[in-house]
Copies of this chain bind each other. A is one copy, B any other.
Amino acid sequence: MAAMMDLINELWFLPRNLVSDGYDQALARLAREVPMTIHEYPTGEPCWTWKVPEKWTCDEGFLDSMDGRRIVDVKDHPLHVVSYSLPFEGVVSREELLPHLHTHKTLPDAIPFVFKYYERDWGLSLPQTVKSSLTDEQYRVVIRTRFEPGTLKVGEVLIPGRSSQCFMLAAHLCHPALANDDMSGVAVGIQVAKALLAQKDLHFTYRLLILPETIGSVAYLSHHEDLIPNMVGGLFLEIMGNDQPFALQHSFQPESQPDRCFGSAIADISPTAQQAAYRRVIDNDERQFNAPGVRVPMLSLSRVIPEKSHPNWPYVGYHSSHDTPDLLNEERLREALDAVLGLLRAWENNQYVVNLFKGEIFCSGHNIWIDHQTNPAGHRRLFEIMERLDGSRTVADIAVELDISFQAAWEVVSLLVERGLADLSRKPHPTSPVRD
């Protein structure tokens, strides 16, 4: 398996703007890793309340002093020209220039990632240190950008399962020259897809979407409305390579099965992982899936500090030229891969548990006895799980009810299934006697 870092190193520095050659080039490269359908949506195509934007190309972009000194040049870094900047050429006074120069709030030597997709203007991004040195009266600006008809592209990797019920994975590819946000999620997503494709016997169908942020999700969803009722859950993957514990962000429907399943399974996967409510970690494409008329319970997994008011939120270097492959390493990406696969394993296992017994099981007779004297906690857990098996609770429901991890519940459940004492069912199958 190709190292995830290799893929990131290869693609991260491309000018992967929303609709752009750089984006297309990166997506074409990913399509060589896994079987991928590339959906194309032409500029101007209506997508619910949105429209696909123009393709944007930056041919040249620099700032010169009047004596011909080159101050910044997009050739050095794709972030120097604001994404979707209008073209502009001319000599401007310092006063005219300054409002068009963008710097990073907290990192004086970083070039910020600035985008003007919809409220357009021309602009350059540069380090605060450079901006501070601009004391001349006049400067020369050259921004040669083109807005043309193009096609927004969404890559879809289909991993068919037995059921048409579908679980959605997504990561966005659109930020130029950023590595952790979200080439890391893209690289992990591609490896997740490979691993799922190698598995036999998946119950759910999985779809991994690689897309430009927000508009990519809206374009895909609005053109696949028939699929939406089949989408039973989702997980957005992002910011996965930096040095920070995992943060699981819940969906808009915190009582959904994906929320209960991942919320109880994450502790099995990473004891340091933190959890937070919808929109309390970081906002991304999961918003389009959770939104009205779609209402897919999509969570997100990231290595973001789960506290928006934290001074380093979401991580140091975010949306800047500091977000390079140096922030990442293969081990942390592999942990993320394992985490996603672990969550999906729990998801596949998360079924209603139907008792094939009545009363309490004769445990010693079925060789599942845990002695009360020698292992009181194990004994108690065995009984607390057993007494909840009534066809109306999933494994995740039981784990949440007992405040134990998914795996702890699953071990007992799968033992009972193995012993022929319980069945798993994708639908509720209540076995309690009905009384008036």
On A, residues with C-beta under 8 Å from B are: 48-51, 118-119, 214, 217-218, 221-222, 225, 228-232, 252, 279, 287-288, 290-295, 355, 357-362, 364-366, 369, 383, 386-390, 421, 427, 431-436
Residue of B232, B287, B291, B389 touching A292 (CB-CB under 8 A): B389
- A348 vs B279: C-alpha distance when bound (angstroms): 32
A357 pairs with B292, CB closer than 8 A? yes
B433 pairs with A229, CB closer than 8 A? yes
A293 pairs with B229, CB closer than 8 A? no
B390 pairs with A292, CB closer than 8 A? yes
- A78 vs B362: C-alpha distance when bound (angstroms): 27
B291 pairs with A387, CB closer than 8 A? yes
Instruction: Kindly report which residue of chain B lies nearest to residue A50, judged by CB atoms.
Output: B362
- A293 vs B390: C-alpha distance when bound (angstroms): 7
Task: Report A341 CB to chain B, min CB distance, Å.
Answer: 24
- A118 vs B360: C-alpha distance when bound (angstroms): 15
Residue of B51, B293, B432 touching A431 (CB-CB under 8 A): B293
- A421 vs B358: C-alpha distance when bound (angstroms): 45
B48 pairs with A293, CB closer than 8 A? no
A293 pairs with B432, CB closer than 8 A? yes
Residue of B232, B291, B366, B421 touching A359 (CB-CB under 8 A): B291
Residue of B51, B279, B287, B366 touching A49 (CB-CB under 8 A): B366
- A434 vs B229: C-alpha distance when bound (angstroms): 6
B293 pairs with A49, CB closer than 8 A? no
Residue of B119, B293, B433, B434 touching A433 (CB-CB under 8 A): B293
Instruction: Kindly report which residue of chain B lies nearest to residue A215, judged by CB atoms.
Output: B362
Q: Can you list 17 A-B pairs with a CB-CB distance of less than 8 A?
A: A48-B362, A49-B359, A118-B364, A217-B359, A218-B362, A221-B358, A225-B358, A229-B433, A229-B435, A232-B435, A288-B360, A290-B387, A291-B359, A291-B387, A292-B357, A294-B358, A295-B432
Residues of B within 8 A of A119 (CB): 364, 369
Residue of B49, B357, B362 touching A365 (CB-CB under 8 A): B49
Q: 6 smallest A-B Cβ distances: which pairs?
A: A293-B358, A118-B364, A50-B362, A292-B355, A295-B432, A49-B362
A222 pairs with B435, CB closer than 8 A? no
Residues of B within 8 A of A230 (CB): 435
B387 pairs with A252, CB closer than 8 A? yes
Instruction: Kindly report which residue of chain B lies nearest to residue A420, judged by CB atoms.
Output: B49
Residues of B within 8 A of A118 (CB): 364-365, 369
**Centre residue among A360, A365, A431 by max chain B CB count within 10 A:** A360
